[in-house]
Amino acid sequence: MEKPENLSDEKLVDKIRKTDQELYAIIIERYQNKLLRYANSLIKNEDKAIDIVQESFINAFINLNGFDIKKKFSSWIYRIVHNQTLNNIKKYKLETPLLPDWDFKSEENIEDEFGEKETAERVNSCLRELPTMYAEPLSLYYIDEKSYEEISDILEIPMGTVATRINRAKKLMKNICPKN
């Protein structure tokens, strides 16, 4: 019989629902670091991010029967953290607006200038400067290594919009965090 640690998220969730709630600890261990980083990139406050992650795990457990195991658990749990974070931001009115004077002058191909690896490192340090609507898809793409489709699932926006926001985020980052 396969060890629970080796099971996929979806099979693990199925077991948690049917037989053993103790296995939920494995889910928490698998996701807590990633989710903390994600929540932190949105709310920009580690203490609040920890609270959000804790609340999200509680919410996810309560609603575990609502998860469709044919779909990706990771997108589902990220979506819960996303909602929890937005609720928290609304509560404390911490949303960072997009400043009107931020321009998009450069039309050059940013992809050429930022290599994938270099972009990942720079994203990590500059992410806090970006407005949430751009920071979020960028963080999911480069740091959490989610596909456009998964990001589209998590943020509930079309894939085209995901691509546009990531592109704009990279342009914004070029202005906010120059290379040297």
Partner 1 sequence: MPKELKDVENIVMEKIHQGKIKMKPKIYFILGSILTFIGLVSTVIISTFMVGLIKFSFRANNGWRAQYKLDQMLSEFPWWIIIIAIISLVLGIWIIKKYNFAHKIKPWILIVGFILAILIAGLITDKTGVNDALIIKHQPMRKMMKLEPPQNNSFHRNIPKQK
Could you list the residues that contact partner 1 (CB under 8 A)?
17, 21-22, 24-25, 28-29, 32-33, 36, 50, 53-54, 57-58, 61-68, 71, 75-76, 79, 153, 156
Residue found by looking up tokens 């195991």 in the block: 69
Select 74 or 119, whichever has its Cβ closest to partner 1. Answer: 74
CB of residue 32 vs partner 1: minimum separation in angstroms? 5
CB of residue 42 vs partner 1: minimum separation in angstroms? 17
Select 115 or 158, whichever has its Cβ closest to partner 1. Answer: 158
Structure tokens at 91: 């509560």
Element (H, E) at 103: none
Taking CA 25 as the corner, what is the angle to CA 19 and CA 26, rounded to the nearest 5 degrees?
90
Phi and psi torsions of 109, nearest 5°:
-75, 105
Structure tokens at 49: 């991010």
Instruction: Find out whether 143 and 124 touch, Cβ atoms under 8 Å.
Output: yes
Select 25 or 98, whichever has its Cβ closest to partner 1. Answer: 25
CB of residue 144 vs partner 1: minimum separation in angstroms? 17
CB of residue 10 vs partner 1: minimum separation in angstroms? 13
Structure tokens at 20: 């053993």
CB of residue 23 vs partner 1: minimum separation in angstroms? 11
Distance (Å, rounded) from C-alpha 53 to C-alpha 47?
10
CB of residue 4 vs partner 1: minimum separation in angstroms? 15
Q: Which residues contact 115 (CB under 8 A, 6 or more apart)?
A: none
Distance (Å, rounded) from C-alpha 140 to C-alpha 154?
9
Select 3 or 70, whichever has its Cβ closest to partner 1. Answer: 70
Structure tokens at 164: 């546009």
Select 35 or 169, whichever has its Cβ closest to partner 1. Answer: 35
Select 80 or 126, whichever has its Cβ closest to partner 1. Answer: 80
